[in-house]
Structure formats: structure tokens, C-alpha cells
Amino acid sequence: MQASSPGKANTSTPSTKHTAPSVQEKALEKLDLKRDIDLALHLPLRYEDETHITRLCDAHEGETIQIEALVVLCEPVFRPRRQLVVHVDDGSDTCILRFFNFYPSLQKALAAGNRIRARGELKGGKNGKGEFGGWTMLHPHIRSTTESLPTALTPIYPSVAGLSQAYLRHAVLAGLARADLSDTFAPGDLSPLDNSIGPHPLWTLRDALYFLHHPTPDVPLETLQNHSHPAWQRLKAEELLAQQLSQLMARRARASLRAPTLKPLTIADSLYTRLLATLPFQLTRAQSRVCAEIMHDMQRTVPMHRLLQGDVGSGKTVVAALVACVCMDAGWQCALMAPTEILAEQHFRKLLDWLEPLGVTTAWLTGNQKTKERRDALALVASGEAKLVVGTHAVIQEKVHFHNLALAVIDEQHRFGVAQRLALRGKLRHEGMEPHLLMMTATPIPRTLAMSYYADLDLSTLDELPPGRTPIVTRLVNATRRDELVERIRQQIAQGRQAYWVCPLIEESEALDLRNATQTYADLRAALDGVQTSRGNQCISARVGLLHSRLAAQDKKTIMADFAQGHIAVLVSTTVIEVGVDVANASLMVIEHAERFGLSQLHQLRGRVGRGTAASACVLLYSIGEGLSKTARDRLKAMVETNDGFEIARRDLEIRGPGEFLGARQSGEAMLRFADLGTDNALLEWARREAPMLLHQHPTLAARHVMRWLGGKSEFLKA
């Protein structure tokens, strides 16, 4: 369908001349309302009931009502501040309307003697004697009595600056009238859905949209607000089906591509078997199983598209190294991209230790390299001499040319945007070929997310930790007990142990009363002055280090190296150490203002300790202040009650919704606007069953359905 311009929805005679877009048209584009169907699917945030008049004598304080009254007096006053004060009388009582922002046109409309309708929240006031002083409304919505009362609730739409509700209502109504709202389901396909949404008959898309834009006042408002009304159920079912179809289409599109050809793993002295023999530990059963799953995928003729999920410390890096060996044995290159330089360098050091003795050349790419170092690395990559390339987003820059990339590994994949992930996959320059893609995450994916947003991925799970990892004890400690905590750190240091102290800010902020990293660093240096710690057979003075994102790259490396080697006893840091830091001797993690962090982030930070044999603890320092929010309390409670990353992920989904897990997967676009994965499992199950049948039996309808709901956004699901 060729969409009309939504910005001209209220224009009676379309212009044939090319003119600059109006303010309203630009505003509509900001809301991504480009097609008629986009306007039709732009649903109200809430509704106002302007269908009836309430008499002041029947009203109650705090109610939002509409009155019809005669203006008795209208005058601007200037104390205590400039405002327009309007006295009105509806025949049963009087009310004062106050406007702090007003134009002459409003003053004219509210001239004494005019009859008007005013809708707003009714407040009662008392005079100096404590007596009731009359009703007031602050900035009520004003209408003329010449207009007939509406027969439906008035929709209030999401909007932006430059776009009035009146204009938006007109544009939406015009788009609704022009849009193709014909069903894209095959006959009979919707009948199984009736049972999943209760006894109500399923609405057509057309009826559902027209109703939700203008619902009648007899409908319980709660069913509109909580999206439980049958009209909402129809829209959520359509949206989930579009998502499932787009995932299936992405799989089908990949099936038409060719993958690099890898030989079966049969050679006794292969890189894989040699690395396995030199590792200082044995693989867990989960690691062996996952390696087999990935290698089976890589020996197929279509590109792998797999997500490896595993809790903090479950050993994802060694799995990546082993499967990379299979590619390198076949003469291909591999790349590993991480979101931060600290994490990328941690991977680089590990892989270098494991693979350099086996004769593998590894290149390092980051945005902070010196010119000659970067030029040399680029030459190694382009020639194919570097079989493994590790780095940050610098790996995908235009000047990076791979000789023959076969495997792209993306760690902490949710931190990368769609364009960045697609760019790495596009580094294989052979016609019609695409590298295998392995994405890794330390945030386990709850089942409902795996069924929806990650349905186009094959999923591998590391569900056990390597032996010898000690459980981490998590404690909640009020910030008023800081001195006790510092004393405990003294004791840990005296025993030769190390600790992290994580702060949410680097510098003082007037907006947030948070202790910052620099102040904490100074305080701990003073408090621990003279404390001795053991390193090897030596007894030395304990050092406190400071690490944050504004430090120069070389300074970060030096501080991390000193901490890893035991030269620094306490590392004060911002969240740059959330991932990629592995120091076995660190046994205590203190998180300042833990109530300010997300649950996934808290779990990641806790995972920085417990990597050795010593008993480890995570202390969540919290400040009550004006009181913790329910969300903050739920997060802290979850951290204390479980160390299981899968349970943490499940609770995080309940508390925060899917955004925490998806990160930039959809490049900032909310692919599910209406459906709720926490409450719409029945609809999701239906969509999963229906999508394959619709795509197979009615591919044209399926394509129309996806285009209607996702438009160009379906491309995001391919990454």
C-alpha cells in the first residue's frame, strides 16, 4: 500500500507542489508516524470522560469532572504571581478557575457572561477561619458550549513538542480511515485464540482499532488501562504474531546463505585437541556439551546464529577459544568483539596465554592504539596471518579488512547496537557467504524472552559452574555502618586478601547525594594508612587504587595489572569493572548505594569475587534517605536470596520488564508496544503455533502482516 502523508491528514485539497514539511509533519516523523497504519496503531495513553456534565453540588474533592457554567468574573491578578482568575457559577455552586499560563485568546473566551465547559481536578479550599472556602480548578480544559457533548471517551495520545492533541486526533482519525485494516489471518486461524482470552468473541482488527481510539463511556476504564479488554487482546495477538513471523523469516533468509566450509574434527593433533590438552583444568559437562552443539552448527552449510548464555564464571571464554580452534584449523579467521576495553583485554590476555604457545597469531584492535601499532595489526588481519582478532568496536571499522573471516564472536551482545553486530557479520567478503555468529551473554535469558525476542536464535546454556568456585555470601548493610565495614576490610587485607569498592559516580553531583569514587578513594586511603598486607613471603603497606572510565587507557591497564598482581589491596572503581575482571584473590565486593543499580548489574558486580578458593562476600551498602522504592527493595531482596543467575534473570524480568535483557537488540526500538511478556503467555504460545502455519500456507498474508506491524524494523531482528 502506498501510504499517504500523515502530516497532511487534515488537508482537504492535497498539494502537488513539493513544500517543506510543516512543524506538525516533523513532529509526526519524530513519533515515527509515517504511514497510515502507523497512525492507526498510535493508541491513546489514557482517556478523558467528556461525555457528561457533573453539577458542582454533586461533586467530591479530588474528582476529575466536567462542569457547564456561566463566567461571572474574569480578571488577571499579579500577586503572588501572574495568573488569570475566573469565577464561574453552574447554578448549583461556584468555582474558581486559575491559569498561570494564558494568552489573550483564552481571556477573551472566558469573558464575563460567556457559558463554558471546564474539565479538571476539583479541589476544595479553606479560608483563614478553617471554613470551606469554595471549589477551585487549576488549568482546566476549556470547551465551548456550542459543541455537542461527545459520545465516546476523549483519547489522549503520546505526543511531542509542536503536536497538539487536536491535530493528532485529526491525523489519527484520517490515517485510520485510509489504512488497510483487512485481516491477514487465514480463515479459522483465530478460533483457538478465543479460549485463551476468555469468553468474549475475538474482535476484528478494524473493530478493535476504532473502538480503542473512541471507546464508549460504559466500558470499565480499568480494562482499557490494563489492556485486558478483548479489543486489546486482538491487537496483542496480532503484534506477537508479527514478531514470531519476522523471526521465522529471518531464519529462512539465513538458510539461503552459504557458510564457510569447515572440515570435520578428526585430526588427532588439531588445535582443538592440543588446546584441550594444555588447559590447566577440565571442562565441565556443560562446556563439553555446548562445544559439541556449536561445532555441529559450524559444520553445516548455513551460517550459525547461536546465543551462548551462562552465569558469571561459567566458562564462556574457553568455549569460544575451543570452537575458534576448529575454524583456525580449517584455515579461516575468527574475531571476538567486546563492548569495553577492559573486557576485551581480559579476553585477549587469556586467549594469548592459551593459544600463543600453540603457534596462533592473535591481533589486538582498540580505538586507543598508537598509529604504528594499529597499522601493524591491520596488516596482520588483512594478510590472514592473524588467525584470531580480539578488540572493541574498533574491529568493525571500515579500515579493518579480514582475509577470510569464518566465526564472529560477540561478548555481552546486548551492549552492541544492531548496526554494529551486522557490520561484524559483513566482514566476510565472499559472494553470498556469511560468517558463523556466536553471541555470548552472562545474563541468562528467561523462557518468555527466549520464546519471543530470541526465537530466531539457537540457544546454548552453560548451567553449571566449574568445580572449586566458592559460594558468595551476600549481605545488606546500612550506610551508617561504614566504619564497621572499613574495619572488616582491614582484617581482609591483613590476611593477604583483596577487595573491590564500587561507586555509582566519579564526581560530586548536586542532583544525587551519592558518595563518589574519588571521595571514597581518599577516605579509604586515610582509613587504611599503615595497614600491612602479605604478598608472597613479603609484608608490604596496603595500597588503594582508583579506576574509572575517564582515566587514560594506559593508566587503566596499569591499575588493573597492579590489582591483578596484588600490588593494590583495595580497588575503588565505578562500574567499569562490571565485566571482564578476573582476580582470584579478591574475596570482598562492596557496592556503594546498591539501591541505585539494576539487578543484572548487581549480579555481574557480585560475580567479580568468589573466583578463588577463599570464602567470598558481597556487601550491598544502601542508604534509606527518604525511603527505598518498592523496585529497589525487590532488587536487594533478590540479591540476598539467591546467587542463581537464572533466578536473578527471572526476577529481573518481573521487576523491570524485557528492556534490561534486550539492551540494543532492537537499536532502541520497542518491538513490542502492546503485549506484555509477563501476562500474555497464552497469546505468545498461540503466536508461536500459528506463525509457522501461516508462513507455510499463506506466505503473502504473512508478509503483509509483518510489513503492517514492523515495517522496516523487522531488519533489527536479524542481528
478-515 pLDDT, tens digit per residue, is: 988 989 999 999 888 888 889 999 988 655 554 455 56
Per-residue confidence (pLDDT) for residue 609, from 0 to 100 = 87
pLDDT grade, residue 583 (50/70/90)?
Answer: confident
Between residues 584 and 661, which one has the greater pLDDT? 584
Q: Where are the domains of the chain?
A: 1-50+154-179, 52-149, 472-642
pTM above 0.75, yes or no: no
Per-residue confidence (pLDDT) for residue 186, from 0 to 100 = 64
Instruction: Kindly state the cell numbers that stand for 259.
Output: 557458510
- Three-state DSSP at 707 gives helix
Amino acid at site 95? C
pLDDT grade, residue 654 (50/70/90)?
Answer: confident
Largest CA distance in the chain: 99
> What tens digit of pLDDT does each residue of 612-640 get?
778 899 999 988 765 678 888 888 999 99
Same fold, 52-149 and 472-642: no
Q: Could you tell me whether strands 64-77 and 94-99 are parallel, antiparallel, or unpaired per DSSP bridges?
A: unpaired
User: How many beta carbons lie within 10 A of that of residue 632, not counting itself?
Assistant: 17
Nearest alpha carbon to residue 169 among 23, 12, 28: 28
Q: What is the CATH class of 472-642?
A: alpha beta
Alpha helical stretches, state H, 256-315: 271-278, 285-298
Bridge partners (DSSP) of residue 71 are 88
Q: Cell 523471526 identifies what position?
A: 247
Between residues 198 and 132, which one has the greater pLDDT? 132
> What tens digit of pLDDT does each residue of 684-701 get?
888 988 999 999 999 999
Nearest alpha carbon to residue 234 among 289, 282, 189: 189
CATH number of the 52-149 domain: 2.40.50.140
Residues contacting 80, CB < 8 A, separation 6+: none
> What tens digit of pLDDT does each residue of 229-257 get?
999 999 999 999 998 998 888 888 878 88
Bridge partners (DSSP) of residue 572 are 501, 546
Interior/surface letters 18-40, b for 16+ CB within 10 angstroms, e for the rest: eeeeeebbebbeebebbbbbbbb
Which whole-number Å values give the CA distances from 266 to 295, 329, 406, in the listed order? 12, 11, 19
| DSSP run (H or E) holding 418 | helix 418-425
Question: Percent of the chain beyond pLDDT 90?
Answer: 36
- 8 Å CB contact between 363 and 390: yes
pLDDT grade, residue 532 (50/70/90)?
Answer: confident
Alpha helical stretches, state H, 256-340: 271-278, 285-298, 316-329
How far is the C-alpha of 100 from the C-alpha of 85, rounded, in Å?
9
| DSSP run (H or E) holding 362 | strand 362-365
Per-residue confidence (pLDDT) for residue 194, from 0 to 100 = 54
Rama region for 667: left / alpha / beta (φ>0; ψ in -120 to 50; rest):
left
pLDDT grade, residue 418 (50/70/90)?
Answer: low
Amino acid at site 221? L
Q: Is residue 476 scored above 80 in pLDDT?
A: yes
- 8 Å CB contact between 328 and 387: yes
Per-residue confidence (pLDDT) for residue 719, from 0 to 100 = 47
Per-residue confidence (pLDDT) for residue 515, from 0 to 100 = 62
> What tens digit of pLDDT does each residue of 281-334 get?
899 999 999 999 999 999 888 889 898 988 877 889 999 999 999 999 888 999
What separation, in Å, do the N-terminal and C-terminal C-alpha atoms of the chain show? 27
